[in-house]
Structures are given as C-alpha cells and as structure tokens.
C-alpha cells in the first residue's frame, strides 16, 4: 500500500475512533448531559434524536471547516451557530413531517441541538483548524459515540421502567416495573453507572 494513502487512512480511523471511544463526549468530557437526561426514557425517541444529532454534528463540522478560510474571526462563533442552526432546523422539519408523534414527544430538545456544547465544541476545537473530510469524520465519531451512550441508557430505562424495548413488551406483565427509571432520577443513576463503567474499562485517556 502507498505509504501516503496508509497514513491518510490511519489518520481518518484515529479521528473517527477518538470521538467514538478515546475522547467520548459523555463519559470522557461530560458534555451534552441535558439531552442525555431528557430523552432517554424510550429507545425509539432516543434513536431519532441520535440520528438527528449525528447528521447535524457531521455536516456542521464539515461545513465550518470548508468555510474556515472565508469566515472573519470577529464573526466566527456567530457563523458557526448559523451553520448549525440551518442543519438542525432542516432535521427538525423532517422529523415533524415524517414522525409527528416522536416530534411531539421530543418537544424542544431537537431544536436545542443548536446549542449542544458537543457540536459547538467540535466546530471550534477541530473543524476550524482541519480539512472538511477529517472534520466530517470527527463530527461523525463524536455523534456516534454520544449516541451509543444515550442508547445504552435508554435501553435499561425503557426495559426496567416500562418492560419494553422500542415499544414492544419483553418482560412478563406481572413483573414489577421500576417506575424510578422513567423519572429524572433514573436518568441520573444510569448516567452515573455508565460513566463509572466506561472509565473503569478505559481508566486513562488515550494519547
């Protein structure tokens, strides 16, 4: 294999992996906690929210990177917010059009992706300094890493709280449901357990 091609592939893989695992937004950086606690009581709602965030993060990072040489430093942050808002508005409109029930259940949280510190953080820390392709991979990796944690939390909250997965009953009807799991304290408990687990598995930040 061509050494230059191998280096590019290695850089792409490491960039993607960093956001998904080594520098995960939730259990490493403790970012995006608001939506982690707000939308994880049902797997389907969480999945839709995750897809929206992954798309918004990846495309926003790529766009910010593509325009980085044409954006005056004095309005850099405002330009980034405008780019992110444009993608989030499109995603929100699509969810409302094709999944109205889920859109109603998610409420304002799709729109709040605009101010999600993960997207803003990647745009400022990575996309503003790197090329569009790597920025896209960075945003994609962070979005996937963030989404995976949300889905893990939602899995246990819906299973123990409602006895179902994606709305389909999987536990016996006479089994006691853990009501606390579908309440805000349940989200805090699950988040704490997930952070503890992953930090125990990977106790040191990868270099």
Q: What is the DSSP string of 138-186?
A: HHHHHHHHHHHHHHHHHHHHHHHHHSEETTEE-S-TTSPP-GGGGSHHH
| Contact present, 132 and 66 (Cβ < 8 Å) | yes
The mean pLDDT of 92-120, rounded to a whole number, is 86
Q: pLDDT (tens digit, 9 = 90+) per residue, 46-67?
A: 999 999 999 999 999 999 999 9
Would you state the torsion angle of the CA atoms of residues 84, 46, 191, 31, taken in this order, to the nearest 10 degrees? 0
Count of alpha carbons within 13 angstroms of residue 180, beta-carbon side: 5
Sorted by sequence, the CB contacts under 8 Å of residue 175 that are 6+ apart come out as 163
Question: For residue 42, what is the DSSP state?
Answer: S
How many C-beta neighbours within 10 Å does residue 145 have? Answer: 25
The mean pLDDT of 173-196, rounded to a whole number, is 89
| Coil/strand/helix, residue 96 | helix
pLDDT of residue 81: 92
Statement: residue 104 has pLDDT above 80:
yes
| Contact present, 147 and 77 (Cβ < 8 Å) | no
- For the whole model, what pTM was predicted? 0.89
Considering the chain, what is the average pLDDT of its residues?
A: 87
């Amino acid at each position: 294999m061509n050494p230059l091609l191998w280096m590019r592939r290695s850089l792409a893989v490491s960039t993607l992996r960093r956001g998904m695992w080594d520098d995960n937004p939730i259990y490493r950086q403790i970012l995006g906690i608001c939506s982690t606690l707000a939308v994880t009581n049902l797997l389907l709602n969480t999945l839709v929210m995750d897809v929206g965030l992954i798309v918004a993060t990846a495309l926003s990072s790529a766009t910010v990177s593509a325009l980085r040489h044409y954006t005056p430093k004095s309005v850099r942050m405002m330009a980034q917010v405008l780019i992110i808002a444009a993608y989030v508005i499109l995603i929100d409109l699509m969810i409302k059009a094709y999944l109205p029930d889920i859109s109603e259940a998610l409420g304002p949280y799709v729109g709040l992706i605009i101010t999600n510190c993960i997207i803003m953080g990647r745009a400022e820390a990575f996309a503003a300094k790197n090329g569009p392709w790597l920025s896209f991979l960075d945003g994609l990796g962070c979005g996937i890493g963030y989404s995976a944690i949300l889905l893990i939390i939602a899995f246990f909250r819906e299973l123990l709280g409602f006895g179902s997965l994606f709305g389909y009953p999987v536990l016996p009807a006479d089994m006691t449901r853990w009501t606390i799991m579908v309440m805000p304290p349940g989200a805090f408990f699950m988040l704490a357990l997930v952070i503890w687990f992953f930090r125990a598995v990977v106790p040191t930040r990868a270099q």
